[in-house]
Amino acid sequence: MTVEAAPYATRRAELEIPLGEWIRRGRLRQSLSQKALAERAGLSRSYLCDIERGRSSTPSVASLDKIAIALGVGRSDILRVAGIIEQQLGSTGDAGERRLVSAYRDLSVDGKNAVERFARFLHDEENRFVQQSLGSAASAVDERPSPEQGGATLFDLASLNQ
């Protein structure tokens, strides 16, 4: 199971542990030895051991990228755990929003432009057809506010003609 597939609470807990422990847990979930992960990542086993045990200074972004690829986890997750980028997991929206952003990032420039145009279209459509309230005293036809006063809508006028 990759970190992206983990439930929200599990991901939050994983981001609050030390980098070395986070890497070790990811390695053990995949039943990998340090040697196997080091080979996948193109790093020495002793360097990976130092990172896992917290004996190394903060590894470079390039080394973290190699480890993320070798573990099959997202680059942003390992960078958050390492403290290089802020942990904004809970404040950036729900899981659906994060999935949408993740899919958006993988699109071509033309695909991103199409998604942005479609999102603007949907936003405009949702905000265009909002029916205004009729007011509290609208029992008789004569008492209904006129469309110019902002009270009645086309839906109301259609019902008056029936």
Query: What percentage of the chain carries pLDDT values higher than 70?
Result: 62
Q: Are 78 and 64 in contact (CB under 8 A)?
A: yes
Q: What is the 8-class DSSP label of residue 52?
A: H
CA distance 99 to 36: 30
3-81: which CATH architecture? Orthogonal Bundle (1.10)
Q: Which residue has better confidence, 90 or 49?
A: 49
Residues 88-99, mean pLDDT to the nearest whole number = 62
Q: Are 97 and 115 in contact (CB under 8 A)?
A: no
CA distance 146 to 132: 12
Which of the given ranges, 34-43, 47-56, 150-159, has the highest pLDDT on average? 34-43
- What burial class does residue 90 get, using C-beta atoms within 10 Å of its C-beta: 0-12 exposed, 13-18 middle, 19+ buried? exposed
Estimate to the nearest angstrom the gap between the alpha carbon of 33 and the chain centroid: 31
Domain spans of the chain? Answer: 3-81, 107-131+145-162
If pLDDT is split at 50, 70 and 90, which confidence band does 160 have? low
